[in-house]
Chains A and B, each alone.
Chain A
């Protein structure tokens, strides 16, 4: 680089303004700990071990008959689906007339290290479905799974198709070998047996490391520069802090579940080959015969579209829709774009079948 003497004094002005924003930020902005991520009112209707089934009542006079159960991911917490009144996935669905239930997987402790796929699919998810069927006097429910929660939901839909009227798979982790993300590269080289044997559950710190290698300079530097530059913009700051708080809150993953996840999906890629077992039962994706709506995002750097899309082609359903959106993993569920485009499309699809 060569120096040039034509130095713009505005640079100093910008630096001073930025420094002032950094110094004064605590005066105007809440600490992440002071922000509540509970946005839409809900009731805890069932609790088994650490998992909770949350119920959100429809706020639209026209109600659809079939309730929707959301199986949230195992990474981070369910709050991202209800992160902000204007970007809430749940609220949008309530406004469209759906009764929404959501599974909060809770925070596993060392005692839960033996929880496996079977416990999640045939235990927690199955109990939630049974509860909803009882409460709503229906024989079937609509099921939506997001990210790793969609893998659990996919296994459920394959094992219990009689209980699922419609299935929505949002960025599901399905074909581990086709996943082109950094996460899958790390997962493929991991000794999951040793990790579980030595430390039990997969620690949150490991997930934070995985997050930190995703666009490290944009996410680790530029994001925070933008935050301090926009410290006067209340809406921006509020949204930023909510998402940051959500990002910093990931529970451990039970050891046995994590081990099966890494080995069966990323290393051996058994799920898409219809060779994966949950408990004693074989998951055959061809047994998914209900209407299915698969949503993937082109810019998803956590679960690449190549990893999710094979589900669309592997299921036995005749009524199937695949939608590819120009957004990212989080943008798909918590953004203005999801409110304007993704949710209306999904709601329409679901309403026609509910």
Chain B
């Protein structure tokens, strides 16, 4: 693979990411191949396992960057929506309260106006499709970042011979299924006993 930077100066962030991903994988693989033979003679411990899997970490870290880009876009939009609404609400308050309050009663009524206007406007925002859609995307991007983080943690867990999240989940699933079957049988048995006792 050749670097495209000389040919095309207006590359997309995805192209750049792909290039660095390739670069990183190339050197990780080469170094791993070059060093694996002497290592193999001496090591079966966690560092050996970690070295063998370190390529996965490099891939995850590079892909995190891609997701960070999307995440940043969503979070910027999120704060923009909040600050725009704040600005609009504050303008409305300023129009409704032209003078600075100068006694306790006035402060109370200004506070009431402020809270009502802000609550109404922000509820309208949170109720809107544009907020819901962006918030959904924001959470989704955050989950993608978490997924990469989980994958990195899995590499570390495997290097010390501990089960990965997927392996633990499989066990949980099996336990859940067994418990469900036992509970249903127990319940049926209780019902039968009750029927027979009558």
Contacts and interface: CB of A to CB of B under 8 A. Distances in A.
Contacts of B180: 118-119, 123
B100 A186 contact: no
A8 B194 CA distance: 77
Interface stretch (A33-41, A77-85, A87-95, A214-222): A214-222
A3 B143 contact: no
B100 A4 contact: yes
Nearest to B191: A130
B99 A8 contact: no
B183 A194 contact: no
Contacts of B150: 198
B136 interface: yes
Interface stretch (A68-76, A107-115, A167-175, A311-319): A107-115
Interface in B163-185: 169, 172-173, 175-177, 179-180, 183-184
Nearest to B171: A111
Contact of B122 (A113, A118, A191, A217): A217
Interface in B89-107: 94, 97-100, 102-104, 107
Nearest to A130: B190
A214 B180 CA distance: 37
Size class of the B contact interface (CB-based, 8 Å): 35 or more
Contact of B143 (A6, A182, A198, A215): A198
A182 B123 CA distance: 7
B69 interface: no
Interface in B144-198: 144, 146-147, 150, 169, 172-173, 175-177, 179-180, 183-184, 187, 190-191, 194
Given A1-B99, A191-B139, A198-B143, A185 B183 contact: no
Contacts of A62: none
Interface string B108-127: 00010011001100110011
Given A111-B175, A114-B176, A130-B191, A195 B139 contact: yes
Contacts of A118: 180
Contacts of B128: 185
A61 interface: no
Nearest to B131: A185
A196 to B, nearest CB: 10
Contacts of B140: 191, 194
B180 to A, nearest CB: 7
B102 A49 contact: no
A180 B140 CA distance: 23
| Main SS class of interface, B | helix
A11 B173 CA distance: 62
Interface in A273-298: none
Contact of A191 (B127, B143, B175, B191): B143
B133 interface: yes
A130 B136 contact: no
Contacts of A122: 184
A186 B132 contact: yes
A6 B146 CA distance: 57
Contacts of B135: 186, 189
Contacts, number: 112
SS of A interface (majority): helix
A182 B122 CA distance: 10
A324 interface: no
Contacts of A200: 169
Interface string A142-171: 000000000000000000000000000000
Contacts of A186: 126, 132, 135-136
B107 A11 contact: yes
A162 B105 CA distance: 60
B100 A189 contact: no
A352 interface: no
Interface in A106-139: 110-115, 118-119, 122-123, 126-127, 130, 133-134
Given A114-B176, A114-B177, 17 more contacts: A2-B99, A11-B103, A11-B107, A111-B172, A185-B127, A186-B126, A190-B139, A191-B139, A198-B143, A198-B146, A199-B143, A213-B122, A215-B123, A216-B119, A216-B122, A217-B119, A222-B115
8 contacts: A1-B97, A11-B107, A14-B107, A195-B139, A198-B146, A213-B126, A217-B122, A222-B111
Interface of B: 94, 97-100, 102-104, 107, 111, 114-115, 118-119, 122-123, 126-129, 131-133, 135-136, 139-140, 143-144, 146-147, 150, 169, 172-173, 175-177, 179-180, 183-184, 187, 190-191, 194
Q: Which 5 A-B pairs have the closest CB atoms?
A: A189-B136, A8-B103, A114-B176, A189-B132, A182-B126
